[in-house]
Chains A and B, each alone.
Chain A
Amino acid sequence: MGHVLNVAVGLLLDGLAYGMILFIISVGLSVTMGLMGFVNLAHGAFAMAGGYVTVTLMSTFGVPFLLALACAFVLVGAASVVFERLLYARLYRASELEQVLFSIGLVFMAIAAFTYVYGPAPRPIRVPAFLSGSVDLGFRTLPAYRVFMVAVGAALVAALWFGFERTSLGAKVRAAVDNRHMAQSVGINVDRLFTMTFALGSGLAALGGGLAVNLLGLTPTFAIQYLVFFLIVVAVGGRGSIRGAVAAALVLGITDNAGKYLYPAGGAFFIYAATIALLLLKPAGLYGRE
């Protein structure tokens, strides 16, 4: 009995930590897709870039882990503005096919460039001592990094919720997601709003990428390996919905993690079957607008 409980708690914590990573990376994609309807398959590339920035800053320049994460957030977020203004902005009115192809092209270029610079082998990371051990709760011990992940994720959910629901900027974003033309006609600068959310979303993806290195590993193909999961979070949660992204990411993280452990041969199969079933019933996702 005790053993089963231990396994269950372990699986739940692992799944939560994994789900938090999925949420942190996907939430920006969800909001930008909701705002502009842009199908950006290159979002995973920003997460991958964030991972490499974190690892490089730590190993080459000796920057501490948390500071390196903050740098990844800022650097990748800033770099994404350049991409958004120069390239993405030209394709807002293009068809979904063109957006898909364009962003697949960007992913390929990003993977090739990072493979050229860093090589195809996984990059290790040395997380600080206070995150690499375990936390003693008195009645049980838990792996520290996963507890940290869940805490960071929960803090970000709270911060994003506050920013989205309680600030005027968030209200503008919500208005623009609901009805872009109406928002524009009441004087909201949707283009600038989009640039800002794009930068924030890419920065969060980079932060998620940096946090993910210790749990999921880091190779250049990270950009495409987890892409389907990011897309599932967005599509199942409903694009533009933070609440949906939280729910979808956590459910996906926990079920995928549990499925891999309990039924390794066909675990992934059920994730996709469930995704299809849910999308057939609710095409706009859990919290999306029809």
Chain B
Amino acid sequence: MAGSERTAAPAAAEFLLRRHRWRAAEALPWLIAIGAYFAFPDYLALGTQILIGIMFALSLDLVLGYAGILTLGHAAFFGTGAYAAGLLAAKLGWGEPLTGLLFAGACAALAGFVSGWVLLRYRGLTLLMLTLATAIMLYELGNARADITGGYDGVTGIVIKPLFGRFKYDLYAHTYYLYALAVLLVLFVIARRIVYSPFGQALVGIRENLGRMQALGSPVHRRLVTVYTIAAAMAGVAGGLYAQSNAFVTLSALGFERSAAVLIMLILGGTGRLYGAFVGTAVYMLLEDRLATLSPEFWQFGVGLVLVLTVLFARGGLFGLLERAARAAKRLWR
């Protein structure tokens, strides 16, 4: 018995080491993204918005998929970043894009830290209500202070200087697409490092069994606040990029619809697996672009139906279905 335990330990270590190695298949989404740049030059504006949506969904995956924090107010951080970047360029005249993004991320991180520190002591329905109410309160604040935010008309007059002082922006969003892709790559590498780190494993532990993590002496609240702050910063960067690429920000950046939509995209792709954010966001936004204009009711009904079916039959989302299909194919192959 003792012998098998001793051999099991290196095997487990080997498994943990192997788990976070980069696999060849992980190049696929990036190759698709670069391929799309050349294949669909007319759709790069949509492509940019999809990349921004992936960033946003990725940040929610850290909070919801890994740490298991159920939030209905994640758009608060997207909106904070969007307004931070937008107001910095429009009101203060600071149009340098990269520092603008950093500022957006920092503002959102601050919002995430403060709200997370207060709210993450609660759980269940109470936490759900608190995140929802916080986000709506921020929305109402933006509405009440129309002198700063522009109210329903939004922030206009956002002028962004060329990237690195060299690359200008064109109507077809060539620059923005590559800019967004580079930012997404950076955020993804950060997120990937986080989830495979001991810190990330502790988050999964908290998600799976909170009581046991507390009994083990894991600083649960501090860990939750940390990941909430990091995710808020990522959402803020996504929001900042949204403001820069659209050159305007309205209150819809903060709205409940955006919180719900990102949740749906992530669930559709599959939570707690990083690439679920890619699959879900891309599929949702591409279909939305086609169907929502064709027939809004049909689109909304379809989204609702897919959500219900996902919860009832495919809890891992599209990516989970892919994994199951791959496993089934493997079995057949043998």
Contacts and interface: CB of A to CB of B under 8 A. Distances in A.
Contacts of A228: 132-133, 136, 256
Nearest to A272: B137
A108 B304 contact: yes
Contact of A272 (B136, B301, B304): B136
A269 B144 contact: yes
A70 to B, nearest CB: 30
Interface stretch (A16-24, A94-102, A196-204): A94-102
B140 A109 contact: no
Given A97-B70, A269-B137, A112 B307 contact: no
Given A109-B304, A111-B304, A280-B122, 11 more contacts: A87-B308, A96-B128, A105-B306, A108-B300, A116-B301, A228-B136, A234-B125, A235-B125, A235-B126, A268-B140, A279-B133
Interface stretch (B167-175, B177-185, B309-317): B309-317
Interface SS of B by simple majority: helix
B58 interface: no
B307 A283 contact: no
Contact of B308 (A105, A232, A279, A284): A105
Interface string B114-147: 0000100010111011101110110011011010
Contacts of A96: 70, 124-125, 128
B311 A98 contact: yes
Given A231-B132, A266-B144, A269-B137, A109 B125 contact: no
B304 A101 contact: no
Minimum-distance CB pairs A-B, first 6: A108-B304, A105-B307, A112-B301, A109-B304, A266-B144, A272-B137
Contacts of A91: 311-312
B301 A113 contact: yes
Interface in A129-187: none
A109 B309 CA distance: 12
A252 interface: no
A101 B60 CA distance: 15
A56 interface: no
Interface string B272-308: 0000000000000000000000001111110111111
Given A108-B300, A231-B132, A276 B137 contact: yes
B70 A269 contact: no
Contacts of B260: 104
A279 B126 contact: yes
Interface string A79-95: 00000000100110010
A107 interface: yes
Nearest to A119: B297
A83 B141 CA distance: 38
B126 A283 contact: yes
B227 interface: no
Interface in B58-103: 64, 70, 72
Interface residues of A, number: 43
B311 A235 contact: no
Contacts of B118: 280
Contacts of A235: 125-126, 129
B263 interface: yes
Contacts of B129: 231-232, 235, 275, 279
17 contacts: A39-B125, A87-B308, A91-B311, A96-B124, A104-B260, A108-B307, A109-B305, A111-B300, A112-B297, A112-B301, A116-B297, A228-B256, A235-B126, A239-B125, A269-B141, A276-B134, A279-B129
A116 B300 CA distance: 11
Contacts of B264: 101, 104
A275 B133 contact: yes
Contacts of A276: 130, 133-134, 137
B125 A33 contact: yes
Interface string A28-47: 00000100010100000000
Nearest to A99: B311
B267 interface: yes
B287 to A, nearest CB: 14
A3 to B, nearest CB: 27
Given A96-B125, A115-B297, A276-B133, A105 B141 contact: no
Which of A37, A105, A279 neighbours the largest number of chain B CB atoms within 10 Å of its CB?
A105
A284 B123 CA distance: 10
Contact of B300 (A94, A100, A112): A112
Nearest to A239: B125
Contact of B64 (A97, A268, A273): A97
Given A232-B133, A269-B141, A276-B137, A106 B308 contact: yes
A121 interface: no
A282 B298 CA distance: 42
Contacts of B128: 39, 96, 100
Given A96-B124, A232-B129, A279-B129, A104 B64 contact: no
A265 interface: yes
Contacts of B308: 87, 102, 105-106, 109
A112 B133 contact: no
Nearest to A107: B304
A100 B144 contact: no
Contacts of B126: 235, 279, 283-284
Contact of B130 (A105, A108, A279, A284): A279
B141 A102 contact: no
Given A102-B308, A235-B125, A272-B133, A266 B297 contact: no
Interface string B29-63: 00000000000000000000000000000000000
Contacts of A100: 70, 72, 128
Nearest to B303: A108
Contact of B311 (A33, A105, A273): A105
